[in-house]
Chain A
């Protein structure tokens, strides 16, 4: 892509050895507003290696966006984040003060939000918004910042970047705005990029472009990407590894090929079978009865048990832990062994 050489020069951060881009252990997020505590995320572990594309799949209310914000440290006074370990490329985020943490954001880790129109400042030109990153983090002059902004816009595939740099967000289409957000997220070449539903509001042709862009940036810059999505099609296309969330917990985790071919959790299996496929046109889709539980009142035992077609007595009382069921994959289900064997045979 154009301007690649100059782009790499901006990088000043020292290359760390083989440290994971993201390492999360026992992360819980609790909302304390409104008089009672709601546990939105309950003790999840996540790992993203450098240059790895990890998908976090879940329905609304499963806690996936809350996880992203907790990692970034974008929480308000009514949110409590507890974690045994929270490291972005080796740096223990919890040990940092608010100022140091702010400098981490954008520099070492960054977040791409879903709604590009509300994430951009409507009264500031695109060039100034991107340039701000360089001015704050790198101490660039106005002129340098502007040049860097033009370069970035070119990198994410905005036509005529030197002309568009002085435009305002409303002058761009939805797909372009999303690309501008991605440009801002990768401006300082962070080691870790979290993309929270970056393509949900977009048309398929634009979605394909954005996924391409994320993939090629991963290859060029070697950043770890955590893609948060509810779209199975997107996961199928890009994910190296996959974690499935349900009611605030990870219920299945592993290599994407294995998990998608032979799910070890009934929820993953049902999700895979509830999307329309060409082969079963006209017939009824397999459904999951009921709807996802609200984080305020999750059922006892396994959170999925009221909707699960395989539920037995123990599922209603004892919550299954997330345990390794095979090499490099884990599932939180009392009956995952059976599920795996049924699929194999």
Chain B
């Protein structure tokens, strides 16, 4: 793999993200599953009103604990799952209840990289066939052109083109993940959805794949939605980050802002429980914000703010009224400085009735 890539002086990366072309937009997406017996069905509210925007060349990180609905969200974005409510717009076209041809647009333009490199590749297909399959499925090129494209893609992900005739079992975990990435890139997508794409890899290999994703983004200008439970990885690669809790977005904004001064109590608790990668911060976990109880299940989500049973700031309002995503307001410029906010252009929204109080407490605790 070429370790140093010349910086692409693409006008794309010099324009601020919000002024770039909007590629994929989700508005108020909802998905409910039915489980239990037919006589006594229970509703599992996996994703409940999630809105996201993804611009060209942007990396959006989604973090949250298991069961928070991040994988369901990913599956809806790539069209593997149809939302019950809300709209999904791809390049300005609503693809949720569109005709088949419009949905096909989504399928070619939004591609997924899966978590497990061992089960996401067909063991009986050669690597060449695996990578060419998206092209074969869309009948987009002649077989000869496909072979050429496969060779090009293998080069792009740092594998030798002559590996085309080999089979997945002949590759290591990191190499397989590269094959998965090459397959996702075969149709020249605008959006890559990575659902825990590096979680199954060894630490030393994980860094290679993270670097590769960054390099591909710089070269191809592809937007990446990066779903992970590893907060340090997301911090490393994401421009913007959304924190999910029980199917809803708790906090969303610029990565530095969210990690630097989290305003939602849940974000604060989550960040404080993450072990630091520096020995100097040892003991940080002992000072963490301890959440009472286990994460409630999406089967019977609490009313109001879904975080309220575990929140130390919860009031009656939280138990009855669902907090909308809003900007954090500071009463004055000095108050803003106290809260660690930038007075203008605070690019973060948070769904909490008491975000100001949470910020203030965090600032006092240091």
B174 & A291 in contact (Cβ 8 Å cutoff): yes
Q: Which B residues lie within 8 Å of A205 (CB)?
A: 65, 269-270, 273, 291, 295
Task: Summarize B's interface: helix, strand, loop or mixed.
Answer: helix
Q: Which B residues lie within 8 Å of A122 (CB)?
A: none
A285 & B207 in contact (Cβ 8 Å cutoff): yes
Cα distance, A159 to B236, chains bound together (Å): 37
Within the complex, the shortest CB–CB distance from B280 to chain A, in Å, comes to 9
The stretch from A40-48, A146-154, A231-239 touching chain B is A231-239
The stretch from B44-52, B95-103, B208-216 touching chain A is B208-216
Within the complex, the shortest CB–CB distance from B38 to chain A, in Å, comes to 21
Question: In the complex, which of the residues A233, A282, A285 contacts B276, with contact meaning CB atoms closer than 8 Å?
Answer: A233
Question: In the complex, which of the residues B175, B235, B273 contacts A276, with contact meaning CB atoms closer than 8 Å?
Answer: B235
B202 & A211 in contact (Cβ 8 Å cutoff): no
Interface status of B274 (Cβ within 8 A of chain A): yes
Interface status of B316 (Cβ within 8 A of chain A): no
Interface status of B203 (Cβ within 8 A of chain A): yes
Closest to B234 in A: A276
Question: In the complex, which of the residues B210, B215, B282 contacts A236, with contact meaning CB atoms closer than 8 Å?
Answer: B282
A285 & B286 in contact (Cβ 8 Å cutoff): no
> Contacts A276-B210, A276-B233, A276-B235: A270 and B204 contacting too (C-beta < 8 A)?
yes
Interface status of A260 (Cβ within 8 A of chain B): yes
B203 & A59 in contact (Cβ 8 Å cutoff): yes
Q: Which A residues lie within 8 Å of B276 (CB)?
A: 233, 236-237
Cα distance, A237 to B175, chains bound together (Å): 31
Q: Which A residues lie within 8 Å of B235 (CB)?
A: 276, 278, 281
A284 & B275 in contact (Cβ 8 Å cutoff): no
Cα distance, A221 to B259, chains bound together (Å): 37
Within the complex, the shortest CB–CB distance from A157 to chain B, in Å, comes to 11
Task: Summarize A's interface: helix, strand, loop or mixed.
Answer: helix
Q: Which A residues lie within 8 Å of B285 (CB)?
A: 208, 211-212, 237
Cα distance, A280 to B207, chains bound together (Å): 13
A236 & B278 in contact (Cβ 8 Å cutoff): yes
Within the complex, the shortest CB–CB distance from B66 to chain A, in Å, comes to 6
> Contacts A287-B204, A288-B207: A204 and B279 contacting too (C-beta < 8 A)?
no
Closest to A62 in B: B202
Q: Which A residues lie within 8 Å of B278 (CB)?
A: 236, 277
Interface status of B172 (Cβ within 8 A of chain A): yes
Interface status of A155 (Cβ within 8 A of chain B): no
Interface status of B293 (Cβ within 8 A of chain A): yes
Interface status of A174 (Cβ within 8 A of chain B): yes
B211 & A285 in contact (Cβ 8 Å cutoff): yes
Within the complex, the shortest CB–CB distance from A284 to chain B, in Å, comes to 5
Q: Which A residues lie within 8 Å of B237 (CB)?
A: 276, 282
What mask results when residues 186 to 205 of chain A are scored 1 for a CB within 8 Å of chain B, else 0? 00000000000000000111
Cα distance, A325 to B278, chains bound together (Å): 23
Within the complex, the shortest CB–CB distance from B230 to chain A, in Å, comes to 8
Closest to A59 in B: B202
- Among B204, B205, B276, B279, find the residue whose CB has the most chain A CB atoms closer than 10 A: B204
Cα distance, A277 to B286, chains bound together (Å): 20
A212 & B286 in contact (Cβ 8 Å cutoff): yes
B232 & A204 in contact (Cβ 8 Å cutoff): no
Closest to A260 in B: B279
B210 & A285 in contact (Cβ 8 Å cutoff): yes
Interface status of B229 (Cβ within 8 A of chain A): yes
Within the complex, the shortest CB–CB distance from B46 to chain A, in Å, comes to 17
Cα distance, A162 to B211, chains bound together (Å): 50
Interface status of A180 (Cβ within 8 A of chain B): no
Closest to B284 in A: A237
A275 & B294 in contact (Cβ 8 Å cutoff): no
What mask results when residues 160 to 197 of chain B are scored 1 for a CB within 8 Å of chain A, else 0? 00000000000011110000000000000000000000
B229 & A203 in contact (Cβ 8 Å cutoff): yes
Cα distance, A189 to B311, chains bound together (Å): 35
Interface status of A261 (Cβ within 8 A of chain B): yes
Closest to A278 in B: B235
Q: Which A residues lie within 8 Å of B270 (CB)?
A: 204-205
Cα distance, A70 to B214, chains bound together (Å): 41
B211 & A287 in contact (Cβ 8 Å cutoff): yes
**Which residues of chain B from 228 to 248 have any CB-CB distance to chain A below 8 Å in the complex?**
229, 231-233, 235-237
> Contacts A236-B282, A275-B277, A285-B211: A291 and B66 contacting too (C-beta < 8 A)?
no
Interface status of B326 (Cβ within 8 A of chain A): no
Q: Which B residues lie within 8 Å of A60 (CB)?
A: 173, 202
Within the complex, the shortest CB–CB distance from A288 to chain B, in Å, comes to 4
B274 & A233 in contact (Cβ 8 Å cutoff): yes
Within the complex, the shortest CB–CB distance from B275 to chain A, in Å, comes to 3
Q: Which A residues lie within 8 Å of B282 (CB)?
A: 236-237
Question: In the complex, which of the residues B211, B236, B277 contacts A233, with contact meaning CB atoms closer than 8 Å?
Answer: B277
A207 & B273 in contact (Cβ 8 Å cutoff): yes
Q: Which A residues contact B (CB, under 8 angstroms)?
A: 59-60, 159, 173-176, 203-209, 211-212, 230-234, 236-237, 256-257, 260-261, 270-272, 274-278, 280-282, 284-289, 291-292, 307
Q: Which B residues contact A (CB, under 8 angstroms)?
A: 3, 65-66, 172-175, 202-208, 210-211, 214-215, 229, 231-233, 235-237, 255-256, 259, 269-270, 273-279, 281-286, 288, 290-291, 293-295
22 contacts between A and B (CB under 8 A): A59-B202, A60-B173, A203-B66, A204-B275, A205-B270, A208-B275, A208-B285, A211-B285, A233-B274, A233-B277, A237-B283, A274-B207, A276-B236, A276-B277, A277-B277, A278-B232, A284-B211, A284-B214, A286-B207, A288-B205, A291-B175, A291-B204
Known: A174-B66, A270-B204. 20 other contacts (CB 8 A): A159-B293, A208-B275, A208-B288, A231-B275, A232-B277, A233-B275, A237-B276, A237-B282, A237-B283, A257-B279, A271-B204, A275-B232, A276-B207, A277-B232, A280-B236, A281-B256, A282-B236, A285-B210, A291-B172, A291-B173
6 A-B pairs closest in CB distance: A233-B275, A276-B236, A274-B207, A288-B204, A203-B65, A285-B207
